[in-house]
């Protein structure tokens, strides 16, 4: 029995403040590694060796940046969803690229952390056509009164074959009801907590904080990084003696933080960033090559690749993409 994974990476851009205006979601940096890095590591932890990344307009950029993920010993292939086909349709089409008996289907917006091997074992024991990972609602959550899907599914190959070859098809509102009507067994696997989900700026910043906290408490420093309390700093980064890093902060390679700058965590500073003298940055993500001017304030923001915040300007609660900046636009 062979098992492969399908990563649903497609996302539509809605408005100027969508995360996808900066780059494909799977390439968004989380603690200075692309979001998809954590999904790939999670798949490998369960022994999965093959995966298909299903995306739409960003497929070429994803392929250029990620290649085959050989550094993580994963055979990564790509399928471009041009129509679009919806989550179930995309999974069905992607499965034709990578034949297997069982498929783990995972949404791209997640930072999965629960035990995938246990989910696969439960699916195997049940012999179900599909197993849905679900989480119990938080106490006091008025929007969720029962278990709800977290965005990870296990399907048999025959279950995906039931998806029509044309047209849009959802998983929760299409494929799962179809399987139920056909008398197929559908299992549920309860996880202790829903994985963090990156589906907007606020959620992205929360996911960033979650990962920085996880690295500070449980992780080991990445290659090239040195951990000092709650701060992960690359060995090539330059931090002035009069600068202050407070809380959970990550400083990337060749970044420079000048005199009097204050960085309040949770904050991630990407490679080659420059924080000017006397600036203040808090609960933010600065993508590679971005700059914050002298005396500027950046709070609860994502500053896109290559963007420059002018001197003594306040930027709050937004995605800051300077005109002409070298953003990783999908193409």
Question: Is residue 196 in some structural domain?
Answer: no
Query: pLDDT value at position 285?
Result: 98
**Residue-wise pLDDT tens digits, 95-144:** 999 999 999 999 988 999 899 999 999 999 999 999 999 998 775 555 55
Which residue from 62, 59, 4, 74 is spatially nearest to 34, judged by alpha carbons? Answer: 62
Quote the number of domains for the chain.
2
Tell whether 212 and 294 lie within a shared domain.
yes
**Residue-wise pLDDT tens digits, 279-321:** 999 999 999 999 999 999 999 999 999 999 999 999 999 999 9
Q: What is the mean pLDDT of the chain?
A: 89
Tell whether 112 and 208 lie within a shared domain.
no
Query: pLDDT value at position 236?
Result: 98
Query: pLDDT value at position 67?
Result: 66
Residue 88: CATH number of its domain: 3.90.550.10
**Residue-wise pLDDT tens digits, 194-205:** 999 998 999 999
pLDDT > 90: percent of the chain: 69
Boundary residue ending a domain (135, 156, 191): 191
Tell whether 111 and 256 lie within a shared domain.
no
Tell whether 40 and 162 lie within a shared domain.
yes
Tell whether 178 and 154 lie within a shared domain.
yes
Query: pLDDT value at position 17?
Result: 53
Tell whether 14 and 122 lie within a shared domain.
yes
Tell whether 243 and 291 lie within a shared domain.
yes
Point out the least confidently predicted range of 49-53, 56-60, 306-310.
Answer: 56-60
Tell whether 153 and 22 lie within a shared domain.
yes
Question: Is residue 83 in some structural domain?
Answer: yes
Query: pLDDT value at position 14?
Result: 47
Is the pLDDT confidence value at 18 over 90?
no
Residue 272: CATH number of its domain: 2.160.10.10
Tell whether 147 and 236 lie within a shared domain.
no
Q: Which domain holds residue 216?
A: 201-320
Is the pLDDT confidence value at 53 over 50?
yes
pLDDT bracket for residue 218 (50, 70, 90): confident
């Amino acid at each position: 029995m062979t098992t492969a994974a399908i990563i649903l990476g497609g996302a539509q851009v809605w408005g100027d403040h969508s995360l996808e205006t900066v780059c494909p979601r799977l390439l968004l940096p989380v603690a200075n590694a692309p979001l998809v890095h954590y999904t790939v590591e999670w798949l490998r932890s369960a022994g999965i060796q093959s995966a298909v990344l299903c995306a739409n307009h960003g497929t070429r950029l994803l392929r250029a940046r990620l290649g085959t993920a050989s550094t993580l010993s994963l055979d990564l292939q790509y399928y471009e969803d041009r129509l679009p086909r919806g989550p179930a349709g995309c999974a069905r089409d992607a499965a034709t690229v990578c034949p297997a008996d069982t498929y783990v289907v995972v949404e791209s917006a997640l930072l999965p952390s629960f035990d995938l091997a246990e989910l696969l074992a439960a699916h195997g024991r049940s012999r179900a056509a599909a197993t849905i990972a679900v989480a119990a609602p938080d106490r006091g959550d008025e929007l969720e009164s029962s278990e709800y899907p977290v965005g990870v599914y296990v399907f048999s190959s025959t279950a995906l074959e039931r998806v029509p070859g044309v047209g849009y098809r959802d998983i929760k509102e299409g494929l799962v009801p179809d399987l139920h009507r056909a008398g197929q067994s559908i299992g549920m696997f309860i996880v202790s907590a829903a994985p963090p989900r990156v589906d907007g700026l606020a959620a992205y910043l929360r996911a960033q904080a979650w990962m920085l906290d996880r690295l500070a408490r449980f992780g080991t420093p990445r290659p090239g990084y040195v951990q000092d309390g709650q701060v992960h700093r690359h060995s090539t980064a330059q931090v002035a003696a009069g600068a202050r890093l407070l809380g959970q902060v990550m400083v990337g390679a060749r970044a420079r933080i000048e005199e009097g700058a204050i960085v309040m965590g949770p904050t991630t500073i990407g490679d080659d960033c420059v924080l000017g003298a006397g600036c203040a940055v808090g609960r933010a993500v600065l993508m590679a090559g971005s700059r914050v001017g002298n005396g500027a304030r950046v709070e609860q923001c994502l500053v896109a690749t290559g963007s420059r915040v002018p001197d003594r300007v306040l930027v709050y609660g937004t995605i800051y993409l300077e005109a002409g900046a070298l953003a990783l636009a999908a193409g």
